[in-house]
Every structure is written in C-alpha cells, then in structure tokens.
C-alpha cells in the first residue's frame, strides 16, 4: 500500500498519544484506529431527517391530547411526520385509520393512550414500543 500521509492540523496531542497507546495495545497502527473511529462517527452522525421520506419529528413531553383534526392539520403543514412521545400522549376517540396514515412513525417511551378500535394502527406505527400503551 502506498504511503499517503494525511496531516491533521490542530489535533489534540493528548488524544493522539492515547490513540498511539491504544493502537499498540491492539496490535494495530494509528491509521487503522483513526479510520475505524471516523467511519463509526460518520455512520452515527447521519441526520435523522434522512429517515423514511425525510420525516419531520415532533417531540412531545408532558400530557398531550391529539384529535383527528390536529393530526390532519399537522400533516397539512408539515407533510409526513414522526411523533416522539416521552410523556403521556392521548389520541382522542375520533382518531381513525385515515388520521394514522398521516403519521409516519411513533416513538413512544412514555404512555400512549389509544382508542380500542384503532389500537392496532398505533402499534403498527410505533413498531418497537418502549413505553406503555393503554387501550381505552
């Protein structure tokens, strides 16, 4: 392999020394560790907005009540959107299949209250439920 030196101006000397020590410990060279670290950083730093259909994310905390007209209005203003709930999110009884089709995804780490007749739509949108889901 050709020796293509890459200089990194302004690199913290202590960090570099730690990388050198870690590379020696692992039987690797500094370039291997820096390449791995930068590749991992680039993979993790992709903006979430590049998710499904460039979805807008609404972060909800506290106690929030959403009706069908709220959801339809949000969709009209934002297009596809993602709800992230860490509080208590309640969908009113008028929220139906049509309304759920306007929500791309629900991330629930709080309490999600859903009318019994559309409970399965909420579960489909939530995918992996980390919080509590209550049918009412």
Question: What is the C-alpha R_g of the chain?
Answer: 23
Say how far apart CA 34 and CA 121 lie, in whole Å: 45
Over residues 87-98, the mean pLDDT reads: 93
CB 44 within 8 A of CB 21: no
Q: What is the rounded CA–CA span in Å between residue 114 and residue 11?
A: 52
Residue range 79-108: mean pLDDT, rounded: 90
User: Does residue 75 surpass a pLDDT of 50?
Assistant: yes
Tell me, what's the pLDDT at 47?
53
Instruction: Indicate yes or no: pTM above 0.75.
Output: no
Residue range 45-54: mean pLDDT, rounded = 49
H or E element, residue 120: helix 119-126
Where is pLDDT greater, at 56 or 2? 56
Give percent above pLDDT 90 in the chain. Answer: 24
Are the CB atoms for 94 and 68 separated by under 8 Å? yes
State pLDDT tens for residues 7-23: 788 888 888 898 899 88
Which DSSP string corresponds to 64-117? EEE-HHHHHHHHHHHSSEEEEESSEEEE-TT--HHHHTTEEEEEESSEEEE-GG
């Amino acid at each position: 392999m050709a020796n293509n030196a890459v200089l990194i101006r302004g690199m913290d000397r202590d960090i570099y020394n730690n990388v050198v020590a870690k590379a020696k410990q692992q039987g690797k060279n500094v370039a291997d560790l820096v390449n791995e670290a930068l590749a991992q950083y680039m993979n993790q730093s992709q903006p979430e907005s590049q998710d499904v259909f460039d979805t807008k994310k609404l972060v909800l905390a506290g106690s929030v009540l959403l009706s069908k007209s709220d959801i339809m209005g949000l969709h009209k203003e934002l297009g596809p959107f993602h709800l992230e709930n860490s509080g208590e999110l309640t969908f009113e009884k008028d929220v139906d299949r049509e309304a759920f089709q306007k929500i791309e995804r629900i991330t629930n780490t709080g309490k999600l209250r859903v009318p019994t007749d559309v409970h399965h739509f909420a579960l489909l949108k939530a995918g992996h439920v980390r919080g509590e889901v209550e049918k009412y």
